[in-house]
Structure 1
């Protein structure tokens, strides 16, 4: 298990800021292959299967599409493709295409598409499950990215925690009691180490 080397009996000062102050991306489960995908607030991209949403340059409904063919086949393995609507539409030379990852062979390709509509509830990628989370003491421990993970390790791993110069309810001040409890300290740090190991295995780099 991967662990960061922290000074013995080190002191930590609350760095201030809310949770969104730590890192600029959130790692989520890719809706196509379920591996780690990066969300930057406007797009989601997966480095494993190539799933990518389109940046917010047009109204969101313009980005949803489905294969035009009534019986679309993978251009690589010739197996049937799922015709459900996806937020991966793009225009190429004035024509609409939708990016699909074949569930049979794993190859990703752009296919001729027709305009679709987002599902009820709006931007489905916003509710994608966080990738870096685990269970600790019957609770869910999660981080958005490596900067968030580092900040929690530094703060929760400290023997002495001090308030920083920023007043108000910072992220550290808002942490739940079970995370800050001394009785759970080792469990929480082990949980964070598990998340770090998972991040390394998936190639998460920020």
Structure 2
């Protein structure tokens, strides 16, 4: 994960320990295909304990909405004897293809996150004046962030965007849905995209 030190309450030093984006994919907030409010995508209950974060790419998933009781299940596709993993990255959720709930326009792009821990990691890294790497930098989510997010001149805009997404954590009604998140409509699911891996943004 990311460790950081603070200076007057503001992160000033961030150490990237090499966490991959899979580490943040245990809980994904999405737009519900039933009501347009917020639903959650999690590993299906009753599975064995997780050994590696990479298992989250293959584990059966459940989309559930407490507002309208929509429930959908996902299982990894099989080709021959191999499981085909979901593709992580982008403003749409990788298992069911639904728009992410935590998303907002920023610098002509879409800033997005899976959950609060994901927002925390991005905020701590991008707000830091000193960014250091440790562990496995080539596999890290943070080292693969696009240049526009890491540019010093964009820092305040990106941090404001993360703050807007943090406010969405406390909202779940259809009326609270981000304007950039267009649901696939009641009773429908967007087609999921599956592949072995892709860059996080």
- For normalisation by structure 1, the TM-score amounts to 0.59
Distance 1:126 1:54, change over 3 A: closer
Q: What is the match of residue 137 of structure 1?
A: 107
Contact 2:30 2:40 in 1 (8 A): yes
How has the CA–CA distance of structure 1 residues 144 and 44 changed in structure 2, closer, same or farther, with 3 Å as cutoff?
same
Q: Secondary structure at the match of 1:126?
A: coil
Inter-partner Cα distance in structure 1 for 2:152 and 2:73: 45
Residue 65 of structure 2: aligned partner: 46
- Aligned residue among 183, 192, 197 for 2:167: 197
> Which runs of no fewer than 5 residues in structure 2 stay unpaired?
1-6, 44-60, 76-93, 174-201
- 1:126–1:55 CA distance, 2 compared to 1 (3 A): closer
Larger Rg: 1
Structure 1: tracts of 5 or more residues without a match: 57-123
- Structure 1 counterpart of 2:20, from 14, 18, 41: 18
Q: Distance in 2 between matches of 1:172 and 1:43?
A: 27
Whole-Å separation in 2 of the counterparts to 1:184 and 1:6: 22
Per-residue CA distance 1:142-166 (angstroms, 9 max, x = gap): 0011111110011011111111223
Deviation at 1:23, TM superposition (A): 4.7
Distance 1:26 1:8, change over 3 A: closer
Counterparts of 2:62 and 2:160 in 1: how far apart (Å)? 32
* CA distance in structure 1 between the aligned counterparts of 2:144 and 2:137, rounded to whole angstroms: 12
Which residue of structure 2 aligns with residue 75 of structure 1?
Answer: none
Superposition deviation, residue 185 in structure 1: 0.2
User: How big is the shift at 1:9?
Assistant: 5.5
Judge conservation of contact 2:103–2:110 (CA < 8 Å) in 1: yes
| Structure-2-length-normalised TM-score | 0.60
Cα deviation for residue 167 of structure 1 reads 3.5
The equivalent position to 1:146 in structure 2, one of 90, 107, 116, is 116
In the TM superposition, structure 1's runs of 4+ consecutive aligned residues that sit over 6 Å from their partners are none
Number of equivalences: 133
